[in-house]
Structure 1
Amino acid sequence: MFDRLQQPSVNSEAVESQIWEEWSKSGSPSMDLLLQRGRAAMEEQDWASAIGFFTALTDHAPDFAEGWNARATAYYNSGLYGPALADIRTALRLNPRHFGALSGLALILEDLGHPEDAIEVWHKVQELTPYRPAVKEAIERLDKELTGETL
């Protein structure tokens, strides 16, 4: 599927959705249920509950990258950047091509005032998903910021 993302004629959103679907399969119905419940809590912006579900998931399935990425997202939305970064690190160790975790890392780096590092990470995301408009826009925005151009 990653090879298909490199083709300009492909519907990259559809392919990315298929990749996310694969990443969401832990191999255990119980772990998949924890992921679903955590995602449902995030949809309700109940970050504490989401973190609880994802913590149970990472405790019981420590090799499941999406559990770590999901909890990183919940931590990020709670303003807990340190724990989010730690979980992103684990997710990327388990799945180095996790463009969602990389995107989260880039957002945190931007929020923390490190645009040079953020743009470097966005370029890594772009290597994996070259036709995602939001990534291109983030790179262009940061490039303008770093060169002193106004938006």
Structure 2
Amino acid sequence: MDDSTLEVLLQSLKQADEYQRELATAALWQRWFYQKGEGGNQRLQDAQALVDSGQMDAAEDLLSTLVGELPDFAEAWNRRAVLYFVQKRYAEALADCEQVIELVPYHFGALHGLGLCYAALGQYEEAIQSFRRALVVQPYALVNQRLILECTAQLS
């Protein structure tokens, strides 16, 4: 996918037409999962299967190996961040989200995850900033709007 296609997808996330936003969202997720081809995607799917069967340590090992072998594979970092978040290992999840954003600054999933991590750590101002960054990419993401309100309420 070339840069012009990427720009079209990013602009589509900002359209009023919900169908266009959904298509762009799906296309971006596919781009991220398949960044390293079918083999990279399959390893992400294998890690998710391990998570789904409760084998968290094995999933972490697989994802850690993947980010070690392919440090520019943003979705591998993102999947490990999700795993850490589910395990309530928020500082580690935060670090992995930051790595994703370094690689893919418009990764709305990682921007949202960053906000969730900060909120879980009670760092509500940072959470609000992260959710706002996610809204720059996906202005119609109601979940981020709602989370900004929830975090704002925590500050008062």
Give the TM bin, normalised by the shorter chain.
0.7 to 0.9
Residue 101 of structure 1 corresponds to: 110
In the TM superposition, what whole-angstrom CA distance separates every residue of 1:76-106 from its partner, at most 9, and x where no partner exists?
A: 1122223222211211111111111111111
Does the C-alpha gap of structure 1 residues 49 and 145 become closer, same or farther in structure 2, counting only changes over 3 Å?
same
Question: Which residues of structure 1 form unaligned runs of 5+?
Answer: none
User: 1:1-151 alignment to 2 at 5 Å?
Assistant: 1-11=9-19, 12-146=21-155, 148=156
Structure 1 stretches (4+) deviating beyond 4 angstroms? Answer: none
- Structure 1 residue 114 displacement after superposition: 0.8
CA distance in 1, matches of 2:37, 2:77: 16
Question: Which residues of structure 2 form unaligned runs of 5+?
Answer: 1-8
CA distance in 2, matches of 1:115, 1:45: 31
Paired residue type of 1:5: L
Is residue 4–residue 10 contact of structure 1 (8 Å, CA) maintained in 2? no
When structure 1 is superposed on structure 2, of 5-14 and 93-102 the one drifting more is: 5-14
- Same amino acid, percent of matched pairs: 30
CA distance in 2, matches of 1:139, 1:99: 15
In the TM superposition, what whole-angstrom CA distance separates every residue of 1:1-25 from its partner, at most 9, and x where no partner exists?
A: 1100111123233321221111101
Is residue 41–residue 47 contact of structure 1 (8 Å, CA) maintained in 2? yes
Note the aligned Cα RMSD (angstroms): 1.6
Is residue 100–residue 107 contact of structure 2 (8 Å, CA) maintained in 1? yes
- Structure 1 residue 45 displacement after superposition: 4.0
Which fold has the larger relative contact order, with Cα–Cα distance below 8 Å and residues 6 or more apart in sequence?
1
